[in-house]
Structure 1
Amino acid sequence: MKHRYIKAIAATGLGLAMAMANAALAQDNQKDLKVGFMGVLSGVQAALGQDSYDGFMLYLKNNGGKLGNRHIDVIKVDAQLKPVVGVQLAKRLIDKDGVPIIVGVTFSNVMLAVHSPITKKEVFLIGTNAGPSQIAGKECSPYFFSTSYQNDQKAESMGSYAKSKGYKRIITMVPNYQSGFDFVTGFKRYYQSPLLDEIYTPLNQQDFSAELAKIASEKPDAIYVFYPGGLGVNFLRQYQQAGLLGKIPVLSTSTTDAINLPAQRESALGVITSPVWGPDLDNAANKKFVAEFEKEYKRIPSDFAAQSYDGAQLLDSAIKKVNGNVQDKAAFMAALKQADFSSVRGDFKFGNNNFPIQDLSVFEVVKDAQDRFTLKKIATPLKAQQDAYHNDCAMQ
């Protein structure tokens, strides 16, 4: 009889403890969910990080400030294009602010620095731009998900396009850092012919006169360039001033986009580029996004904004699936993996390394009906493309 009494007390105590734990969890899920947003938000490349932030916040605003029915407290930090600053900020977001999720990261040098410190703490990192090859391959993590691309992918579509055009003599020209290396590698993988030359410039170089003189003397069939943000404005202006625009075709990645085009204007007309997204993609989700963005910010969105908007959609769907309980990391991870949302780029799913499998298109810089400079899709060289490094990732 005594033993039965003790068991009854124990069962009652266990039930009470479980009820208290569930009540505490329910109460915790009523609190604002902290999300860190990291981008380059100052300096010459600030527009890239700002457009990413604007895309994320647009979805959040139009969703009542919630993701997955939880109110969101976004903590915005500026990595300043400096890896050491990115690491310091990541540690502060995790240790001081207690964020379970960090979103963004504009440049690959910062992503390479912060990826491990974030994911090894079992904090979820939703990358909305930078996609260096290392984290798609051997350094992949189940706590990392990309709503953008693996760096090589955009270059692969341009390499395939260049091959289809029959260009035989091509010079590549990119900044001397990880994204530059990845873009040249991706371009060569599908171009499949020897390059006439490869030119690498310091990341913050603004004057390209020496390199342009070399291009003029070598007279390639085309050039392939990657100069994001303010670098792309300077490069194309100088290319036009050198008398090369219209003579030597420009194939590009992340050099002409909605951020740069208002400043590049005629110097970008006819340039071919290969983002993973464009404003004229014909699907309902994209039409809604573009209309919302133009109404809110009075400008055409860029791929940086589109990728972050998708990042917010991904989080909304996954947080909803776990009823707001992101502390259940296994369940939240599985929910993210499902990618159960309507992407602005159309078909979207994750590969084994949590990078997108997606169509890769090519766009031309044109003027729209409102006389604005924008991008028009002209081809889709690669369909349902998975990145080249996924086999090096141990995840299944």
Structure 2
Amino acid sequence: MGISRRGFVTGVAGLGLSPVIVPRRARADQGPIRIGLLTVKTGPLASGGIDMERALVMFLKDRDNMLSGRKVELMTADTAGVPATARTKAQEMVEKNNVHCLIGPLAAFEALAIDDYLRQTQTPTLSVAAAEDMTQRHPNPWFVRATSTSSQCAHPLGEYAAKELKYKKIITIADDIAYGQEMVAGFQRTFEDNGGEVIQRLFPPLTVPDYGSYVGQLKKADAIFLGFAGSNGFRFLRQFVEFGLKDKMQVIGGMTALDEAVLRNMGDEALGIVTTCWYSAELDAKPNQVFAPAFRKEFSYDPGFYAASTYVNGAVLEAAIKAVNGNVEDKPALMAALRATNVDTVRGPVKFDDLGNVVGNVYLRKVTRKDGRLVNSVFKTYPDVSQFWTYGKEAFLANPVYSRDFPPAKHLEP
């Protein structure tokens, strides 16, 4: 599915610009399209960051490194999951490598670190990071997010845990970063709005060497919600099982807690765990029927959140570049085309709201075994989920951004 001319013109107008009709002529003489990928290749987030690069390389290779008749050059930078490094690498990409657009970064705190720079340089950016306010109270006009905000997938799981799983009391634990805090807040809000109580919240540092002290202080509850990124979900669950808690408390998780990137290293302790995400390698979306088997053949494991994120962004970028007939030098037109995109991807259909955030399907998954490997089997789909869930845009934005402080934790036990 492409971008309609009406949608493209509307998107341009949304940026306060006049519609630009680009002549249909070959643009090879303008040189290659330069794409900068900001990812994480070292540290606790590296497993996901490496998958981001692998999938984007695969996307471009499938197209002979050509988009809209122009050669593509991909440049990758390792941000190491450090905000200051993310900003330095973004500056290098824009000022030294003269990229036409950026894809990434991975982490919410990295996106927040480069927010003002993207505005200053007017650099079209297709984000993987879930930093909520960049598409909410302080929207960045040079930023689109085709994955989700931190809480966008947690909202339906919170409702499901209360209404369908009938959990009454839940513990949450997540990395002490914007992504973890925002995800927990969204889950807590819908869980408690539907009659549940979050009785304990724990936020270990992102690089904590051991989870034993956190596992040892868990209170009695129906379930625990994991809001980890990278390999931390695997590390926590391993110690959770070692403490003998797997049979005493149910485990559910957010988008990346049991991502395919780490699921391949796990065993039967993961079976039956329910998680929420906008993607699963098991999806029957037509583009995914090609992507997932090809990725598995190439790397011997299934693609997950991180791999799918850049493959989805590749599809969005491709559609936008076609809409401007390859003229990526016209940054306002390219940005308008990105926001007007309505395209089928490996995650299902993707379109954007007026603030640049995706409106798309969210899936509930359960870990099962298939052909000898662990997979996230989809058992429920929430179609066209907005970043505002069912609260409505104006009512949602009237509240503070999700954090450790909002919504307030009213049911914590001493």
Given the two structures, how large is their TM-score scaled by the length of structure 2? 0.84
Q: Contact 2:124 / 2:334 at 8 angstroms: preserved in 1? A: no
In 1, Cα distance between the equivalents of 2:385 and 2:91?
34
Q: Secondary structure at the match of 2:90?
A: helix
Residue in structure 2 matched with residue 51 of structure 1 by the alignment: 51
Residue in structure 2 matched with residue 137 of structure 1 by the alignment: 136
In 2, Cα distance between the equivalents of 1:27 and 1:67?
11
In 1, Cα distance between the equivalents of 2:49 and 2:393?
27
**1:230-277 per-position Cα deviation (integer Å, ceiling 9, x unaligned):** 211210110111111132110111110111112222231221111110
Residue in structure 2 matched with residue 183 of structure 1 by the alignment: 183
Q: 1:29 to 1:267 in 2, by over 3 A?
A: farther
**1:319-342 per-position Cα deviation (integer Å, ceiling 9, x unaligned):** 112111112223222321222431
Count of residues in Structure 1 that have an aligned counterpart in Structure 2: 366
**1:355-380 per-position Cα deviation (integer Å, ceiling 9, x unaligned):** 11112111111110x21011101223
In 2, Cα distance between the equivalents of 1:177 and 1:27?
43
In 2, Cα distance between the equivalents of 1:69 and 1:96?
25
> What is the CA distance between 1:29 and its match in structure 2?
5.1
Residue in structure 2 matched with residue 206 of structure 1 by the alignment: 209
Residue in structure 2 matched with residue 78 of structure 1 by the alignment: 78
In 1, Cα distance between the equivalents of 2:342 and 2:386?
18
> What is the CA distance between 1:183 and its match in structure 2?
0.7
Q: Secondary structure at the match of 2:56?
A: helix
Deviates more, 1:345-354 or 1:32-41: 345-354
Residue in structure 2 matched with residue 267 of structure 1 by the alignment: 269
1:317 to 319, 325, 330: 319
Unaligned runs of 5+ in 2: 1-21, 399-414
> What is the CA distance between 1:142 and its match in structure 2?
2.0
Which residue identity is paired with 1:210? S
In 1, Cα distance between the equivalents of 2:216 and 2:342?
50
In 2, Cα distance between the equivalents of 1:299 and 1:377?
18
> What is the CA distance between 1:26 and its match in structure 2?
6.3
In 1, Cα distance between the equivalents of 2:68 and 2:251?
43
> What is the CA distance between 1:206 and its match in structure 2?
2.9
Residue in structure 2 matched with residue 102 of structure 1 by the alignment: 102
1:195 aligns with 2:194: no
**1:75-107 per-position Cα deviation (integer Å, ceiling 9, x unaligned):** 100001110011111111111111120102111
Q: Contact 1:145 / 1:355 at 8 angstroms: preserved in 2? A: yes
More helix by share: 1
Q: Secondary structure at the match of 1:105?
A: coil
Percent identity reads: 26
Residue in structure 2 matched with residue 306 of structure 1 by the alignment: 308
Q: Secondary structure at the match of 1:195?
A: strand
Q: Contact 1:206 / 1:231 at 8 angstroms: preserved in 2? A: no
Residue in structure 2 matched with residue 234 of structure 1 by the alignment: 235
Given the two structures, how large is their TM-score scaled by the length of structure 1? 0.88
Residue in structure 2 matched with residue 157 of structure 1 by the alignment: 156
In 1, Cα distance between the equivalents of 2:267 and 2:261?
11
Which residue identity is paired with 2:73? D
Q: Contact 1:68 / 1:317 at 8 angstroms: preserved in 2? A: no
In 2, Cα distance between the equivalents of 1:27 and 1:149?
33
Q: 1:160 to 1:95 in 2, by over 3 A?
A: same
Which residue identity is paired with 2:76? K
1:361 aligns with 2:366: no
In 1, Cα distance between the equivalents of 2:340 and 2:83?
31
Q: Secondary structure at the match of 1:260?
A: helix
Residue in structure 2 matched with residue 5 of structure 1 by the alignment: none
**1:119-177 per-position Cα deviation (integer Å, ceiling 9, x unaligned):** 321111101x2111111212212211112101111211221221121101101111111
In 1, Cα distance between the equivalents of 2:270 and 2:119?
39
Residue in structure 2 matched with residue 296 of structure 1 by the alignment: 298
Q: Secondary structure at the match of 1:347?
A: strand
Residue in structure 2 matched with residue 147 of structure 1 by the alignment: 146
1:329 to 300, 322, 331: 331
In 1, Cα distance between the equivalents of 2:304 and 2:27?
39
CA RMSD between the two structures = 2.0
In 1, Cα distance between the equivalents of 2:223 and 2:71?
50
Q: Secondary structure at the match of 1:48?
A: helix
> What is the CA distance between 1:189 and its match in structure 2?
2.1
In 1, Cα distance between the equivalents of 2:135 and 2:176?
20
Q: 1:248 to 1:122 in 2, by over 3 A?
A: same
In 2, Cα distance between the equivalents of 1:330 and 1:305?
28
Q: Contact 1:136 / 1:390 at 8 angstroms: preserved in 2? A: no
In 2, Cα distance between the equivalents of 1:238 and 1:262?
17
Deviates more, 1:343-352 or 1:57-66: 343-352
Q: Contact 2:31 / 2:71 at 8 angstroms: preserved in 1? A: yes
Residue in structure 1 matched with residue 282 of structure 2 by the alignment: 280
Q: Secondary structure at the match of 1:210?
A: helix
In 1, Cα distance between the equivalents of 2:112 and 2:173?
22
Higher Rg of the two aligned structures: 1
In 2, Cα distance between the equivalents of 1:29 and 1:145?
29
> What is the CA distance between 1:196 and its match in structure 2?
0.9
Q: Contact 1:270 / 1:364 at 8 angstroms: preserved in 2? A: yes
**1:44-98 per-position Cα deviation (integer Å, ceiling 9, x unaligned):** 3211111111111111000111122221111100001110011111111111111
In 1, Cα distance between the equivalents of 2:111 and 2:353?
19
Residue in structure 1 matched with residue 9 of structure 2 by the alignment: none
Unaligned runs of 5+ in 1: 1-21
